[in-house]
Amino acid sequence: SHADWVRPGIMLYGASPLAGKLGPELGLRPAMRLQAPLLAVRELRKGEGIGYGRAWQAPRDMTVGIVAAGYGDGYPRHAPSGTPLGLRGREVALIGRVSMDMLAIDLSGIERPRPGEPVELWGETVPVDRVAAASGTIGYELLCAVAGRTRHREATTGFSAPDT
């Protein structure tokens, strides 16, 4: 800030304005959580592929989940494998390419994952700044890119925006 003015900007969303610092490290809480349901859970054997052209190959036998969100919802299409997401308050990793309507996650270490469970794309478990950093962008871009087709709900009152 300079003189008598303050420009809070991205801090209003609970994200950090400082490179190398996350919002929670500055005492900020996210104002937005983006989540989508887990659609399916499958077992992959080492070498089996998923995604466009089955380009991503399982490095070991593993449990994977398909999430009902993709770049059509505002999740970054260029997010690489390993980008963090949240499930049950724990981090899980993106695997493979992000599709328009779906993405895949590594569910190794998650006990009995169930379709319908909410997966956090960013929010309390995974700050938007971490997703942005992994994707080579900034939190502003991700927060602004959330598509109109996503369902919006105000957490404190239960307000739901009409579906379009």
User: Catalytic residues, which ones?
Assistant: 52
**Residue pointed to by tokens 């971490």:** 130
- Single out the residue of 116, 146, 117 nearest to residue 31, CA to CA: 146
